[in-house]
Structure 1
Amino acid sequence: MTDTLPPLARELGFERGMKCWFRDLPDDVRKAIAPEKAGMEELAAPSAGIEGALIFVESRETLDKELGAFHELLDTNGFVWVAYGKELSESDVLDAASPCDMVHAGGVTLAGGRAIKLAHRPGH
């Protein structure tokens, strides 16, 4: 069978059948990931068992609120990519992740900005 997973989805670690949640995806990123074509289960809202997430945030307040609200809904092996605007830095994202017991697990350039992959601290 031919792998039909879009390159960006593969690069970010998303897989066919994965339970995913996305927040404020720009249209070009949604098109590049193509969750429906890739066979991902896209959730309308965060719920228990999220295996992968991608969120776009512009402020520290939104970042804190989003990570605080759904980090416990992530599957044990789940991850979240945080794409952040110019008003935020990598340090801001890592500071917001710390109380959620999440650690840096990768980084990419995405939609003209940066994104950091967060995962549960081992033993969480």
Structure 2
Amino acid sequence: MNYAEFENGDETKSSSTTFGVVVDANYHFKALNSVSPYVELNVNFGSYSRNITETVEGITTETDYTGSRVGAGVNFGFDWYFTEGLSLGGKYTLGFRSLGKPDAKSGNVTVEGPSSSGFGIGSASVILNVHF
């Protein structure tokens, strides 16, 4: 929760919740010495909600936002098995995401926002894996 109070008595409170699920599947190619390259596919789903309460000059306004997202990605990576039970890896992600039409509700008024989608670079990561 975020909270801000101003000298004139105005205040803003904000809280949010995000929930998501990701499913990954990877395929490792033939190892080159101690390096194992792989390709990975993932699908993800998520939802979020946010509440903002603002008091300005004694008038309080409460706004709720809700929305969802779905996405998919392709990861290209490798694992370097430098000792038994441990590997250091890296991966690069290309992905697609689609955000559903978010709702903004203030009092009895609900406004539906625009949906959006995009394709691009998700992230590059360095990963230490423990194998047992």
More strand by share: 2
More helix by share: 1
Q: Tell whether the structures are fold-level matches, with TM greater than 0.5.
A: no
Q: Which has the larger radius of gyration?
A: 2
How high is the TM-score relative to the length of structure 1? 0.23
How high is the TM-score relative to the length of structure 2? 0.22
